Amino acid sequence: MDKLIKNNTYRLTVEGYASDGSGIARADGFVVFVPFAVRGDECDIKIVKVLKNHAYGIIEEVVSPSKERIQPECPVFKKCGGCDFLHMTYEEELEYKRQRIEDCLYRLGGFDPLFDGVEPSLDVLFCRNKAQFPVEKRGEKVVSGFYRRRSHQVIPTRTCLINKPNASKLANAVTDWAQKYGISVYDEESGKGLLRRVYTRHGSLGDHLCIVATSGDIPYADELVAAVREVCPDLQGVVVNVNDKKTNLVLGETCRTIWGSPAMHDDLLGNRFILSPLSFYQVNRDQAEKLYRKIAELCQLTPERDALDLCCGVGTITLTLAPHCRKVIGAEIVRRAIDDAGFNAKMNKVENAEFICADAGDAALQLKEKGFAPYAVVLDPPRKGLDERSLDAVVSMDPERIVYVACDPASLARDCRYLQEKGYKMTYAKGYDMFPRTANVETVACLTKSEQAT
């Protein structure tokens, strides 16, 4: 064939995976991206879009399935955007994640570190401690679920296989309450309506519920509290987050407690943490403990050495490092998270940890001016990574070690390549599967000053 033709069907074999988890097949020089394919599948693939050197297709029929293909257990898989890999074995998913990290390290970053593979999740299903359910009025019925891929259309679901079971119970209780008492549901086009989302968190000490609404005044609030406590007896608190803006941002800036604790409490590596709805926290607790132990190991701290934790959130990594060093400082741009971090340090009687509210670059520069010289710097930025200004500020502190944690291996490779140009060499990398059944994977990398690494 000279050129793939849109709407024609071709029999192709899936050879591997793209960065988003789609399968990759090839046809006479064309790369064809195919959602929900498994390496080794032989499929009849309908071409839906043709570009210069690649195309996109959909599976019409799996002629000969891969030995790694399995039957999805979720009835809304492929419609809902929550999962990517319910159609393949977990072993194959881990292989995809290993290859994705390696591709980023070797191809994008040009690194050749000791790559220690991907740490599998202890639990593959019902493992996520955080869930956000958008709410929608479907005809006369109030429903919650997850957005269809690349849309804001809610796919209703009463159960979810990747979130903790109480998350679905709480979401169902809220939508049933809204249905019973005629609570208005937010409409994105008009900007009218009260109820926007149900946001749940699960910790070792119980669950926490946040209702995202356009007002903090919730009618029938007592009835709401009674309904959610009935389905979740260990509930710690119910909070309303006020988001009255026409925006894609999930949360607003203010919260109002209508029952119980204003924040969730959880135990992690011997420390107890308080987490407001606005504060970041890893979604897979068991994996987070493994990751944080590895971070502490890579920092190689001693009682005579100091550490800096940039983008520290509520201080989980900071307090993990504290027993291993003389002093550790955490920096975070979100004021509510820094307030939580300071409280967490006091609650756990950690006296050698301090916290400042600033972005990563500003924090590094401020601390350098004050003479703070950390032996190790931990970077745990959002998915987009850090800008060159912030990375330059970190390098100016001249740490012996930089430990970089990322939920996107591509942004990690980009930023670490920049750090390598500034005199640091990546010596170790390892993946941690924080997000089973999705295409996301966490990666930790250690960089040392080049003269130390040689």
Cα–Cα nearest to 183, from 306, 174, 240, 333:
174
User: Who's near 225: CB < 8 A, 6+ residues apart?
Assistant: 238, 258, 259
Cα 206 to Cα 73, 132, 166, 264: the distances in Å are: 27, 17, 10, 8
Residue type, position 375, single letter: Y
> Please, what's the largest Cα pairwise distance for the chain?
70
Task: With beta carbons less than 8 A apart as the criterion, state whether 355 and 345 touch.
Answer: yes
Q: Is 190 exposed, middle or buried (0-12, 13-18, 19+ CB in 10 A)?
A: exposed
Tell me the torsion sign for CA atoms 56, 61, 67, 71: positive
Cβ atoms of residues 119 and 430 within 8 Å: yes
Read off the amino acid at residue 159: T
Please give the sequence-ordered ranges of beta strands (E in DSSP) within 214-313, or none if there are none.
Answer: 235-242, 254-260, 264-268, 271-275, 306-310
Question: DSSP secondary structure string, 67-115?
Answer: TTB---S-TTBTTBSS-S-TTB-HHHHHHHHHHHHHIIIIIIS----EE
List 83, 311, 312, 407, catalytic entry: 407
Mark whether 446 is an active-site residue.
Answer: no
Alpha-carbon torsion angle 256, 257, 261, 262, nearest 10: 0
Edge-to-edge strand ranges of the sheet holding 254-260: 154-156, 141-147, 130-138, 195-203, 206-213, 235-242, 254-260
Cβ atoms within 10 Å of 254's Cβ, excluding its own: 13
Distance CA 385, CA 360 (A): 11
Distance CA 416, CA 43 (A): 39
Looking only at the bridges linking them, the beta strands covering 54-64 and 42-50 are antiparallel
Q: Which residues contact 140 (CB under 8 A, 6 or more apart)?
A: none
Q: Could you list the active site residues?
A: 407
